Structure 1
Amino acid sequence: MARRPPAPTHHQSTDELRSAHPFRGRDFRLLFGARVLSLTGDAAVPAALALAVLRATGSTSALALVLGCAMVPRLLLLPIGGVVADRLNARGVALATDLVACGAQLFAGIELLGGHPQLWHLAVAQAIGGTASAFQTPTISPLVAGTVEPSGLQKANSLLGAANGATRLAGPALAGTFVLTVGPGWTFVLDSASFGASAALLAMTRVRHTPIPARPGEARRSGPLGRLVGDLTEGWTEVRSRDWYWTSLIAHAMWNGASAVLLTLGPAIAIDRLGGEGTWIATVQVGAVGLVTGALLAARLRPRRPVLFANLGLAVFALPLTLFAVAAPAPLTIGAYGLAGVGLGVLNPTWSTVVQMTVPQHALARVTSYDWLLSLGAAPLGYALAPWAASTWGTSAPLMVAAALVGTSCLATAAVPGVRHLTMPTTETPSTPLPGTEPAQ
């Protein structure tokens, strides 16, 4: 087995460290290919599922039920997914979840190809897929940290962020095209194949793994449940001990909740007051382009205070929220949404790099699982509250409140000492020593 190149030493210059490109490593290339395939499946499934369920049942309530079956287990099981990814090898967990998602989408495809799909069959398939996602999502950061040298983390996260934006842009269009040409059943079969191909690439990828160190007295704990509670507590302690982390998570959760408000109310405002459906389609597409652009910019930006810089950029989302609330001219509103997409695109890889360089490797999956839990949990709240608030006070009020919450929470992080003082960790060595690290496999 080929040996991995040694980590950069202190004799190397900053320019040499920055020149390291993650695509030079075979393992990251395989991981990147796997993530693109998996992300494409993830982006295509919701659109294909919506069209398939509505075509089969004609009921929006049925669609809400199926989508809820995917979301609920994902939210409930995310912290446990983080524990499993830290306890076991993240690559093995990601590979297994891709295979489970492959099977779930194949089952849904076969059900639809049969011509008489049962709603509860589709709901069960999506619940299984949501469960797999809960275990797969926390593996992403450990996989990147385990396949890329520290000097290449920012570029690696930027590339993955750009891929995420590109799949958001292309996934729904691909799903719609497949549904209209080959039908919803074959669309799910193709989604299944994308997850299977991702698993095949992960099987060839070697990933460094740092096991959770034994805690004093752990052997005396009351079996697996005691260890699970201990692992969850330790992960939360890592989050709580960093003021820059948990305060930023509050701001990020506000952003996700506000995004859900806009996605709920924005289409109606675009159709009724900004020129029609084309305005909303253009808004979403420009936002995705902004996301890709921001992710690519993040590979070149070297802000001295990365978390502060990224959070201030995230505050820009208050602008399109406000413009939608007042029904500003469509070009201005669309442009503002694209600018907000750039801010999000810069934040995602910058945030991931800082976390990977500062959080101990053995706790990385658990810490990021709490990150995802807060972010994903805020979105359903926004979806639920937006229609109620709009029916009570009109569409402008909830959008203005969302704008105020996003702007205030993101800007307020500048008052947190950890956010103001945190600089990008050195790229010369990993953030924590790796005693007992298992060989790449």
Structure 2
Amino acid sequence: MERSLRPMGGVLAAMTVAMTGTRVSAIALPWFVLESTGSAMWMGVVAFAETVPYVLVRALTGPLVDRLGPRRMSWAADVASASAAAAIVLLHTLDLLPMGALIALVVVIGAARGPGDLAKETMVPEAAERAGMPLERATGLMGVTERLAQTVGPALGGALVAVVGAVPSLSLSAGCFALGSVAVALALPRGMGQQASGHGEEERYWRRFGQGLAFLRGEPLLLAVMAMVCVTNLLDAAFSQVLAPLWAKESGHGTVVLGLNSSVMGLTAVGGSVVAAAVAHRMPRRPVFFVAFLFAGPPRFLILATDLGRDLPVWAIVAVFAVSGFGGGFLNPILGAISYERVPRHLLGRVAGLQTSLSWAGIPLGGLLAGATVAVAGLAPVLLVCGAAYAATTSLTGLRPEWREMDRLRARPESARPESARPESARPAGPAPGESAGTADRARLNE
């Protein structure tokens, strides 16, 4: 295969604009609900309406991504997201946006973003192969893309909300989703992702779905990752959807400082991801991963709880978010490389869909639980409890034995790795007679 950076550039460009749109809406939608209703509970309900479809549809569309191809799925999902976001803006302008209509359109956005994000992610290992770069570097670049979106999106969202209002700011989200579909259509080769759909096209949907489940059941490390990330995602969702916006309102800092915190965290996370892209393939994964997680999570909760009682200067709060962001920049490159190494290419869509959906299973509950507990206990105690729970989750789970596998597959020779981690020239033409491709890959993975 001729080496080319164009596929990697196309995937990263599509990710950048689509994720930026998602980050803008993450500022605009909760603030609109808070201004309209004054209710933390309604904020949680709207967040629930977006994240539940995201999680469920992403889990169920993995086999379809493998069957139809990620390029086609990504384009269609971006078009659907853009249409729903534009409809929110139009209906609000016409004064025809009751809460029921808003929730319905948010459901559409969540349902479209799930398979859209999944499709882009499943194209990363093939793009890395076409560019001839290590997986850690490719996932590091993907991390840079995500963190850039976290930097630009909240800053734009916070500024636009302050100037033109929350719902009109969603026009930028609609434009970003539309640009994502354009990037996929114009920058990615038409054959992109065909390797994923080339195995067993005659297989029925539920058989494909079952293959993904069966593979995950035999991977203790991936199961451990999903369990830990499920808890931290729940806490992150509570933070971003309810706790941080309520802090911005109660402290008097408003959306400008809320967006500034998110943007600084995203900017320093870009730095962390750049470092990871440059040197992560030479670093021991396990200690770096758990130290980075400890910096990325608990300090954010604790500094906001402290600020509510002591009126801390803005620079001190921003500094804590900067440290958290830099630590967080190392996480996704490591997690992505582990997953891409262990999952065979033709199973990537269905396995990655299940992985993310199970890891995200707590997110729909994050906003609801945060809204309910704040109503009972107050904001500061909930922030303190969430920070302590984050620290315990990211420290105690690292003691389990399966985490020792984080570096072992990377240390194996290419002949002992799964097909997804080996160069095209080193791959066998197909499974042995009488042996399924999944069985052959599992034998290599469990050596």
> Does TM, normalized by the shorter one, top 0.5?
yes
**Which one-letter code corresponds to 1:382 in the other structure?**
G
**Which one-letter code corresponds to 2:222 in the other structure?**
Y
Structure 1 pair 119/434, CA: closer, same or farther in 2 (3 Å)? farther
Matched, 1:350 2:334: yes
Could you say which residue in structure 2 is the equivalent of 1:252? 229
Would you say the 8 A contact 1:78–1:138 is kept in 2? yes
Out of 69, 76, 95, the residue aligned to residue 96 of structure 1 is 76
Matched, 1:362 2:375: no
Out of 341, 344, 358, the residue aligned to residue 374 of structure 1 is 358
Deviations 1:154-182 (A, max 9, x none): 23322232222222222233245456666
Pairs within 5 Å for 1:47-86: 47-50=27-30, 60=39, 65-86=45-66
Whole-Å separation in 1 of the counterparts to 2:43 and 2:380: 27
Would you say the 8 A contact 2:155–2:262 is kept in 1? no
Pairs within 5 Å for 1:261-300: 261-263=238-240, 264-265=242-243, 282-300=260-278
Out of 409, 421, 446, the residue aligned to residue 431 of structure 1 is 421
Matched, 1:25 2:5: yes
Matched, 1:197 2:179: yes
Whole-Å separation in 1 of the counterparts to 2:121 and 2:199: 19
Pairwise CA distance, 1:258? 2.5
Greater shift in the superposed pair: 291-300 or 59-68: 59-68
Query: TM-score, normalization: structure 2?
Result: 0.77
Report the secondary structure of 2:279's partner residue. coil
Pairs within 5 Å for 1:302-381: 302=280, 303-316=282-295, 317-325=297-305, 334-381=318-365
Whole-Å separation in 1 of the counterparts to 2:430 and 2:198: 10
Deviations 1:74-124 (A, max 9, x none): 222221122211222111111111111122223333323334434444333
Could you say which residue in structure 1 is the equivalent of 2:220? 243
Report the secondary structure of 2:421's partner residue. coil
Pairwise CA distance, 1:144? 0.8
Could you say which residue in structure 2 is the equivalent of 1:4? 2
**Which one-letter code corresponds to 2:151 in the other structure?**
L
Unmatched runs of 5 consecutive residues or more in structure 2: 432-447
Deviations 1:366-390 (A, max 9, x none): 2222332233332333333335445
Report the secondary structure of 1:300's partner residue. helix
Could you say which residue in structure 1 is the equivalent of 2:118? 138
Report the secondary structure of 1:425's partner residue. helix
Could you say which residue in structure 1 is the equivalent of 2:152? 170
Whole-Å separation in 2 of the counterparts to 1:140 and 1:155: 17
Structure 1 pair 398/66, CA: closer, same or farther in 2 (3 Å)? closer
Out of 422, 425, 438, the residue aligned to residue 406 of structure 2 is 422
Would you say the 8 A contact 2:59–2:356 is kept in 1? no
Could you say which residue in structure 2 is the equivalent of 1:160? 142
Would you say the 8 A contact 1:261–1:383 is kept in 2? yes
Would you say the 8 A contact 1:307–1:350 is kept in 2? no
Pairwise CA distance, 1:250? 1.8
**Which one-letter code corresponds to 1:107 in the other structure?**
A
Percent identity of paired positions between Structure 1 and Structure 2: 21
Could you say which residue in structure 2 is the equivalent of 1:110? 90
Whole-Å separation in 2 of the counterparts to 1:203 and 1:380: 32
Deviations 1:315-351 (A, max 9, x none): 2323444455555855655433322222221111221
Could you say which residue in structure 1 is the equivalent of 2:197? 211
Whole-Å separation in 1 of the counterparts to 2:210 and 2:196: 19
Report the secondary structure of 2:123's partner residue. helix
The root-mean-square deviation of aligned C-alpha atoms, in Å, is: 3.5
**Which one-letter code corresponds to 1:101 in the other structure?**
S
Would you say the 8 A contact 1:295–1:346 is kept in 2? yes
Would you say the 8 A contact 1:307–1:351 is kept in 2? no
Structure 1 pair 322/113, CA: closer, same or farther in 2 (3 Å)? closer
Query: TM-score, normalization: structure 1?
Result: 0.78
Pairwise CA distance, 1:285? 3.6
**Which one-letter code corresponds to 2:359 in the other structure?**
S
Could you say which residue in structure 2 is the equivalent of 1:12? none
